[in-house]
Amino acid sequence: MKKKQIVLTGGGTAGHVMVNLAIIPILQQDGWKIDYIGSKNGIERELIEQVEGVNYHPISTGKLRRYMSIENFKDPFKVLNGIRQTLGILRRTKPQVIFSKGGFVSVPVLIAARFKRVPAVIHESDITPGLANKLAMPFAKKILATFPETLKYLPEDKASWIGAVVRSELFKGDYKRGLRFANLTEGKPVIMIMGGSAGAQRINEAVRAQLDQLLETHHIIHICGKDNVDHSINRFGYQQFEYVNQELPDLLAATDIVISRAGANAIFEFLALQKPMLLIPLSRQASRGDQILNAEAFKKQGYAQVLFEEDLNETSFLQAVKQLVDSETEIKQKMVEYQRQDATERVIETIYQLAK
């Protein structure tokens, strides 16, 4: 191909951006010109605008709300405006292919792609497809799945199971550099706590309520989400961050066990790095239940312990952490047996096929 032009999309959470971040360096190395379509204020804009050589285009987009709001009535008009804006972007950039990671910003992009007859591929991370991807599937040529169980929810003629895409830079972390960045010393194992890009208030509260007990045996790296740092806590061995990007590989290299939500991209990264997990998935009241399915699948395979948010309190949290520590060796052995296939290559192959 003489011309190599691609549009990437996906946003709303960091999980809807990470796969794009994993494939961008590969595409750039092979000479692709990359444009990214995202929302005006989403985390995808913050993450992608830091990437050199990628042109970011903000558009109007709707949002899934699980409660009554007047904004729900405005969303169809926002999507229509997003389609109009995307048509203009596609007219200017003339991509050969579009790659979508999901999130509501991707819906107008894939609809516009059909109008412009640009082939599109969707990557679905969770066991069951999210609403945005369900809406976008009819407009895609290919749908790639992380979990084999997902195939039964996807159109048979479009779907392929490829496994998880894991960012290569995560394997380049340095243990001592991670400890230095977190102002920690050697001598105690490290727990990393992550509540997703927006943080998790109940997890944050449980951690801080049991800080004395946790610090007796572990250092703690607490990635607590935007505006969720508690500046009143100043304890050696406890380091808080709103969000971590470039330093994450080093922090993970210094980490022994992880306490996390159960977003598919994140938990597959922990699995690839052989970090035993305590997963606290979003409840069905706060989500469609995808994280619960992800967590149950990992528990069944022996990669994680699970504490449901409905059962989360100070006592149950401490008990679950102790159970994870006690089963750490057993979980690591299961992780060693995990055969990781390089799904990144499959994504790139699919992009090339559609572009041709």
Domains of the chain: 5-166+341-355 (3.40.50.2000), 169-337 (3.40.50.2000)
Residue 251 has what pLDDT?
98
Residue 71 has what pLDDT?
60
Q: Which two tokens stand for residue 31?
A: 């000479």
Q: Which two tokens stand for residue 89?
A: 């972007």
Length of the chain: 356
Q: Which stretch of DSSP H or E encloses residue 199?
A: none
Residue 348 has what pLDDT?
96
Q: Which two tokens stand for residue 315?
A: 């006592």
Q: Which two tokens stand for residue 154?
A: 């996807």
Residue 69 has what pLDDT?
56
Spatial distance between the Cα atoms of 322 and 320, rounded to a whole number of angstroms: 5
Whole-model pTM? 0.86
Taking the CA atoms of 289, 191, 336 and 325 in sequence, report the sign of the dihedral they define.
negative
Residue 200 has what pLDDT?
82
141-157 burial, b if ≥16 CB within 10 A, otherwise e? bbbbbbbeebeebbeee
Say if residues 280 and 308 touch (Cβ distance below 8 Å): yes
Instruction: Of 57, 110, 108, 112, give the one whose Cα is nearest residue 87.
Output: 112
pLDDT in tens, 183-207: 999 999 999 999 865 558 889 999 9
Say if residues 260 and 288 touch (Cβ distance below 8 Å): no
Q: Which two tokens stand for residue 19?
A: 């796969």
- Ranges under pLDDT 50 in the chain: 67
Spatial distance between the Cα atoms of 101 and 144, rounded to a whole number of angstroms: 10
